[in-house]
Amino acid sequence: MIHIKDLYHTFSIGKRGKEKRVPVLKNVSLDIKKGQIVSIVGKSGSGKSTLLHVLAGFMRPESGSIIVANQETSRLSESEHAAFRLNNFGFIFQNFQLMPGLTAFENIELPLKLKGIPKKERHPNVEALVKKVGLTQVADHYPNELSGGQQQRVSIARALVTNSPIILADEPTGSLDSETEQEILLLIQSLNESLGLTFVIITHDDEVANIAHEKYRLHDGVLVNGGVLHVV
Ligand SMILES: Nc1ncnc2c1ncn2[C@@H]1O[C@H](COP(=O)(O)OP(=O)(O)OP(=O)(O)O)[C@@H](O)[C@H]1O
């Protein structure tokens, strides 16, 4: 489903005229099968967010290729990538990124509105998801009236509502206490099993990373899987 080959990326660091190019992704290669949960664990600064941003098309890599659902995405224009992203990726963030002026229901509904789906089609779809993620009792609450775990459930339902097959999760339990973390991880596993969704989770936490079918580690931009060095 996702084939990443020899991704290489550097950032420019330092004052203008005296910048240094520092490599952040060093020939990263990664294959992700449909329906897998894959985790990429690494310390702060190891390159996890950069890898996720390149995969999602928010940044263009310096070199290397990314094929998602048979489409070479690293060559798409910005507008082509935005359309591709909308149809293929859902996003879950550490800080939920909900719209404060919209209820839980309306936050989940928003991507469908943006896609121009009529209300009659939107509502049954959102209602089913509200039920699936366990928010029926609080669907008309605003984000500041919800617990952290409930807010993350809203954000997960919003990621699923457009039927994107791949969910990219950036520290999905980073703002939650350990009990709520377990609930959210169980929800991710059950959605993976029941809907066959592919999850890519980046985290600094091995406990979170351990729910994955395949666990990778990033060390200073070098990706390692199961002790085997993929890249040197
Ligand atoms: N826009 C940028 N310009 C220059 N350097 C950057 C930029 N973005 C990230 N970096 C550097 O690239 C390296 C990798 O950053 P990245 O955010 O991908 O790491 P991370 O593993 O996600 O870290 P964290 O867990 O703290 O979010 C870091 O050394 C960071 O300082």
Contacts of 132 (CB under 8 A, 6+ apart): 157, 191
CATH of the domain at 114: 3.40.50.300
167-172 average pLDDT score: 96
What is the distance, to the nearest Å, from the Cα of residue 197 to the centroid of all Cα atoms in its chain? 12
pLDDT at 179: 92
62-73 average pLDDT score: 93
Contacts of 153 (CB under 8 A, 6+ apart): 133, 134, 135, 184, 187
Other CB atoms within 10 Å distance of the CB of residue 122 = 18
Domain holding 14, by residue range, is 2-229
Choose one of 49, 54, 219 to mutate for the ligand 1 pocket test, by most ligand atoms within 8 angstroms of C-beta.
49
Q: Interface pTM (ipTM) of the complex?
A: 0.94
**Reported confidence tier of residue 31, pLDDT bands at 50, 70, 90:** very high
Instruction: Name the residue with the closest Cα to ligand 1, atom 7.
Output: 11
pLDDT at 14: 87
- Ligand 1 atom nearest residue 202's Cα: 22
Other CB atoms within 10 Å distance of the CB of residue 127 = 15
**Reported confidence tier of residue 226, pLDDT bands at 50, 70, 90:** low
44 C-alpha to ligand 1 centroid (Å):
8
pLDDT at 55: 94
67 C-alpha to ligand 1 centroid (Å):
23
92 C-alpha to ligand 1 centroid (Å):
19
**Reported confidence tier of residue 89, pLDDT bands at 50, 70, 90:** very high
19 C-alpha to ligand 1 centroid (Å):
16
What is the residue whose two structure tokens read 């993929």?
230
Q: Rounded to the nearest 10 degrees, how much is the dihedral formed by the CA atoms of 194, 112, 135, 120? A: -100
- Distance from C-alpha of 73 to C-alpha of 14, rounded to nearest angstrom: 30
Choose one of 8, 13, 46, 171 to mutate for the ligand 1 pocket test, by most ligand atoms within 8 angstroms of C-beta.
46
Instruction: Name the residue with the closest Cα to ligand 1, atom 5.
Output: 11
Q: Which residues line ligand 1 (CB under 6 A)?
A: 11, 13, 24, 42, 44-50, 204
- Ligand 1 atom nearest residue 221's Cα: 14
Instruction: Name the residue with the closest Cα to ligand 1, atom 12.
Output: 24
Domain count within the chain: 1
- Ligand 1 atom nearest residue 13's Cα: 4
